[in-house]
Amino acid sequence: MKNIVLILSVLFLITSCSSSIYNKYSKYNRFDKEDGMLRFYNEELNVKSLSFNDYKFASNLGEFKSISKDSKPLFENVIVYARKTGTDQDFYIIKMNYVNVRPDYQIIKHHGEKGTLFLLISKNTAEEDAKRIEEEFGKLIK
């Protein structure tokens, strides 16, 4: 009986710690296809974006682990994480008042109705892709 209680306690701690990496709004993320592209939207934050199908998205830690070589995201309060298939090119959209600067990520800030969102694009992302991601982020809060 003590072993069961111990195991359940450990599982609870792991679950509660890992879920805090993703922001509470990430559970409202939705994805669908639109004209051969992947559409991301989150009605609670009033954000939406289109991307080509070469990106895989994650709205929770389990999805993150399935598309990333890392065991957990580099940032906290993640709304969505995206990684280009077959590359190390990725980006995050996070919801925070500030973000720790990382030399390997470009940071774009947007003040929205429900707080500040940051787009963090890995600097190894192809220039054309980074520009497209940034342009789409500019359309997010519409």
Residue 77: what pLDDT? 94
Residue-wise pLDDT tens digits, 89-112: 999 999 988 888 889 999 988 877
Q: Is 6 within a domain?
A: no
The share of the chain scoring above pLDDT 70, in percent, equals 84
Q: How many CB atoms lie within 10 A of CB 77?
A: 22
Residue 75 phi, psi dihedral angles, 5° rounding: -125, 165
Stronger pLDDT, 7 or 29, i.e. the higher one: 29
Name the domain count of the chain.
Answer: 1
Stronger pLDDT, 141 or 87, i.e. the higher one: 87
Q: pTM, whole model, 2 decimals?
A: 0.80
Q: Is 1 within a domain?
A: no
Residue 2: what pLDDT? 57
> Whole domain around residue 107: which residue ranges?
22-140
Q: Is 12 within a domain?
A: no
Query: What does each C-alpha distance from 124 to 15, 24, 39, 104 come to in angstroms?
Result: 32, 29, 24, 8
